[in-house]
Amino acid sequence: MPSDDSTKKRQSDANRGGAKFELYVKNSLNENLELQRQKIRIFDGKEIINDPGLFNQIAIPLRGYQPTGRDIDLVAVDLEKRKAIALICCTLSLHGRLPETLFYSLLYKKIKPSLKVILATPDKGKQKSSSTWKSEWGTKKEPLKSRALAEKFLHGVYVDNAYLNNQLHLSGTTAIGGKIKPFSKLIVDLVSWKNS
């Protein structure tokens, strides 16, 4: 049985890894020239909370609860209209995050239907050891439960296997198809959602 110290270290490493990936997603998108031309900017949770006009667009009315910047990953914003386009949930692996993202997607479809809820991930895999990588999504022909749920309830899952290979030093290629898309497709989709 793992000790409390080893569990805390593993959780701390996971939090640092997740924060690093989130920053990578934010910076990659904000440095994209097409998104700059389209006046689309990616804000993190702290920036959203400090901007009441934007925060009110994504706030979930909960009496007595004050959200923090850690409750929100990233938000894509149309700077011309000062309008939130998409919530971008970032995760290295699906453990614990897919149900949360699915919940938010269902909730926002009811209370703010124009707001897209998406997931960005390098697809760290579902293997127990780092020696053999196995996708968390399966294939379009043989989907895993996560893929089937994402296809039904999310607006898209954007996979960055370059991050998986270069930053996490794992070898793998996620099977793309349907709502499971390469990370580069997120730019096209954000522009499309802004202009729809």
If you write DSSP's letter for every residue of 102-119 in order, what string do you get?
A: HHHHHHHHHH-TTSEEEE
Beta bridge partners of 180: 157, 177
Q: Which residue has the tokens 């196995």?
A: 134
Give the pLDDT score at 96: 73
Return the pLDDT at 142. 94
Take residue 27 and report the two structure tokens written for it: 């910076």
DSSP letter at 185?
Answer: H
What pLDDT is recorded for position 36? 98
Integer Cα distance of 118 and 99 in angstroms: 13
pLDDT at 95: 79
Query: The tokens 């895993």 sit on which residue?
Result: 144
Give the CA distances from residue 196 to residues 14, 153, 155, in Å, rounded to whole numbers and listed in that order: 37, 20, 14
What is the DSSP secondary-structure string of 22-78? HHHHHHHHHT-HHHHHTTEEEEEHHHHHT-HHHHHHH----TT----GGG--EEEEE
Rounded-to-integer distance, Cα 20 and Cα 31, Å: 16
Tell me if residue 4 falls in helix, strand or coil. helix
| Contact between 40 and 78 (Cβ < 8 Å) | yes
Per-residue pLDDT of the chain (196 residues; tens, 9 = 90+): 556 665 555 565 556 878 899 999 999 999 999 999 999 999 999 999 999 999 989 988 777 666 555 668 999 999 999 999 999 999 998 877 899 899 999 999 998 999 999 999 999 988 776 668 899 999 999 999 999 999 999 999 999 999 999 998 989 899 999 999 999 999 999 999 999 8
pLDDT recorded at residue 10? 55
The answer to whether 168 and 18 have CB atoms below 8 angstroms apart is: no
